[in-house]
């Protein structure tokens, strides 16, 4: 069987787990001569929206997006130095949904995503972005669990 991976989507949450996720993505991109799309989604949690009197400065979302773009660009520069074709995308929206939307938009063959290994009550309350992506993605998904999980 010939596996062709032209495009790898790498959703990043900028946690300490990002390095392990990127290591896997780099390895696979080099093996398959794939292009990589680094991706970050942001949104305002429902809990915050429900706080009475909650205030966000007018430039809040502009700053959030700019910081995410800068961070992704630092990761992208490292990948380019390794000879990998890379693109960075920042989107507003619930992460799992935004990831699935990006798959269709970019023609993604593989998603490489980290899992923080939540279990028990935390998993029940917070859910898992990686789990939802695995369930909904129309392509293969590699979940990366780090040793600290």
Q: What is the pLDDT of residues 52-94, one digit of tens each?
A: 556 667 787 788 899 999 999 999 999 999 999 999 999 999 9
pLDDT value at residue 26: 97
pLDDT value at residue 145: 86
SS3 75: helix
Whole-number Å distance between alpha carbons of 39 and 42: 10
Q: Pick the more confident residue, 148 or 104.
A: 104
Tell me, rounded to whole angstroms, the distance of Cα 87 from its chain centroid.
13
Residue ranges covered by each domain of the chain: 7-145
Pick the CATH number of 7-145 from 3.40.50.620, 3.40.50.300, 3.90.190.20, 3.40.50.1860: 3.40.50.620
SS3 79: helix
**What would the two tokens of residue 114 be?**
């980290």
Determine which helix (DSSP H) or strand (DSSP E) holds 127, and give its type and residue range: none
């Amino acid at each position: 069987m010939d596996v062709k991976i032209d495009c790898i989507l790498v959703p990043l949450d900028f946690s300490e787990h990002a390095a392990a996720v990127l290591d896997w993505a780099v390895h696979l991109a080099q093996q398959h001569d794939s292009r990589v799309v680094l991706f970050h989604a942001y949104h305002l949690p429902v809990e915050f929206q429900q706080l009475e009197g909650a205030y966000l400065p007018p430039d809040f979302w502009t700053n959030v997006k700019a910081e995410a773009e800068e961070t992704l660009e630092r990761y992208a520069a490292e990948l380019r130095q390794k000879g990998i074709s890379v693109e960075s995308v920042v989107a507003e929206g619930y992460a799992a949904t935004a990831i699935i939307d990006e798959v269709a938009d970019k023609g993604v063959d593989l998603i490489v995503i980290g899992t923080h290994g939540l279990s028990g009550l935390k998993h029940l309350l917070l859910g898992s972005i990686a789990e939802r992506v695995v369930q909904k993605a129309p392509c293969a998904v590699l979940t990366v669990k780090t040793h600290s999980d």
